[in-house]
C-alpha cells in the first residue's frame, strides 16, 4: 500500500485546484451530451430501443472517463515526472518506481471514475437511466478508467516531450472513439472496422455500460470486463517496465 502516499499526494493537489478540474472534466462532456443528445436526438428515432440521448449518454460516460484517465496519466503525469521532478523527489524516500506507477494509475482511474459516475448521476437525474442495474456502471467506469490510465502512463514514461501525446490522441483515441459505438451502434460498421473495435478497450466499456443504462444485464459481461482488466493489467506491467528503463539511465 506504499503507492497510496502517491495517490494521496495527487488527490491533495486535485482538492486545491478542484474548480478548474471539475469544470474541464465534467462541464465539457455534459455540454456535449446534452448538445448532441438533444440536438441529434430530435432527428433520430430510438436507437436500439433507447432514446438517442440515453444511447449517447452510455457512450459519453465511457468516452469522458477515457479522456479524464488519459489526460491525467499523460499530461499531468508527465508534468509531475518531467517538469516538476516530483517522481525524483519521491524516489529518495523508501518508495520505488513501481509504487509511483501504481499510485499514478490508480489516481488517474479514480479521477476518471469521478467523471464517469457524475455523468451517470446527471443521466439518472434527467431520467435517462432509471433501473438499479445502472449502479453496476460505477465499477465499470472504474475499470474503463484503469485500462486507459495504464495505457496513458505507458505513453507518459515513453514520451520525450509533450508533442508525443498528440500522436496517441490523434492516431489512437479519436479513431477508436468513432468505431467503438459511442455515437452510433458499432455493428453497423464494416466488418473489418468492427473487428478492430472489438480489440480496443473503449468498445468493451460501451458494451457493458449501455445495457445497464437501458436497464438490464449486459450480455457477455465477463468477457468485456476481462478485456478491460487485461488492458489494465498488461498496461500496468508495461508501464512499470518502461518506467524502470527510463529511470535506470
Partner 1 sequence: MSALSVRGLRKSYGAAQVVCGVDLNVAPGECFGLLGPNGAGKTTTLKLCLGLIEPDAGTIELLGEPVPRRAREARRRVGVVPQFDNLDPDFSVAENLVVYGRYFGLAQSHMKGRIPGLLEFAGLTGREDAKIMTLSGGMKRRLTLARALVNDPQLIFMDEPTTGLDPQARHLIWERLRRLTQEGKTIVLTTHFMEEAERLCHRLAIMDSGRIIVEGSPRELIAEHIEPHVLEVHGPGYEAWMERAKRLAPRVERVGDTVYCYGDDIEPALKAVGGELSYLHRPASLEDVFLKLTGRDLRD
Contacting positions for partner 1 (CB under 8 A): 2, 5-6, 8-9, 12-13, 16-17, 84-86, 88-96, 247-249
Q: Which positions ≥6 away from 116 have C-beta within 8 Å?
A: 61, 62, 64, 65, 68, 137, 138, 141, 142, 144, 145
Q: What is the DSSP-derived secondary structure letter of residue 173?
A: I
Cβ distance to partner 1 smaller for residue 81 or 214: 81
Nearer to partner 1, 92 or 166 (CB): 92
**Closest distance between partner 1 and the C-beta of residue 99, in Å?**
9
CB of 83 to partner 1, least distance (A): 9
Residue 25 or residue 65: which is nearer to partner 1 going by CB? 25
Ramachandran bin of 108, using left for φ above 0, alpha for ψ from -120 to 50, beta for the remaining angles: alpha
Q: Which is nearer to partner 1, 6 or 140 (CB)?
A: 6
CB of 243 to partner 1, least distance (A): 13
Q: How far is the CB of 96 from partner 1 (least distance, A)?
A: 7
Per-residue three-class SS string for 186-241: HHHCCHHHHHHHCCCHHHHHHHHHHHHHHCCCCCCHHHHHHHHHHHHHHHHHHHHH
Amino acid at each position: 500500500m506504499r503507492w497510496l502516499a502517491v495517490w494521496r499526494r495527487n488527490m491533495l493537489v486535485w482538492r486545491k485546484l478542484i474548480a478548474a478540474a471539475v469544470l474541464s472534466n465534467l462541464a465539457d462532456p455534459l455540454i456535449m451530451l446534452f448538445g448532441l443528445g438533444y440536438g441529434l436526438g430530435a432527428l433520430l428515432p430510438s436507437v436500439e430501443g433507447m432514446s438517442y440521448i440515453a444511447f449517447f449518454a452510455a457512450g459519453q460516460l465511457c468516452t469522458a472517463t477515457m479522456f479524464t484517465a488519459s489526460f491525467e496519466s499523460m499530461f499531468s503525469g508527465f508534468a509531475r515526472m518531467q517538469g516538476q521532478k516530483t517522481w525524483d523527489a519521491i524516489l529518495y524516500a523508501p518508495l520505488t518506481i513501481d509504487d509511483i506507477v501504481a499510485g499514478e494509475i490508480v489516481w488517474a482511474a479514480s479521477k476518471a471514475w469521478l467523471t464517469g459516475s457524475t455523468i451517470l448521476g446527471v443521466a439518472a437525474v434527467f431520467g435517462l437511466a432509471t433501473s438499479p442495474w445502472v449502479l453496476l456502471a460505477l465499477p465499470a467506469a472504474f475499470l474503463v478508467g484503469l485500462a486507459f490510465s495504464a495505457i496513458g502512463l505507458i505513453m507518459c514514461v515513453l514520451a520525450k516531450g509533450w508533442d508525443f501525446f498528440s500522436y496517441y490522441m490523434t492516431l489512437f483515441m479519436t479513431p477508436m472513439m468513432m468505431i467503438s459505438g459511442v455515437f452510433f451502434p458499432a455493428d453497423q460498421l464494416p466488418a473489418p472496422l468492427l473487428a478492430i473495435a472489438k480489440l480496443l478497450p473503449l468498445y468493451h466499456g460501451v458494451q457493458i455500460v449501455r445495457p445497464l443504462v437501458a436497464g438490464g444485464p449486459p450480455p457477455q459481461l465477463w468477457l468485456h470486463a476481462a478485456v478491460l482488466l487485461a488492458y489494465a493489467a498488461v498496461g500496468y506491467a508495461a508501464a512499470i517496465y518502461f518506467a524502470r528503463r527510463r529511470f535506470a539511465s
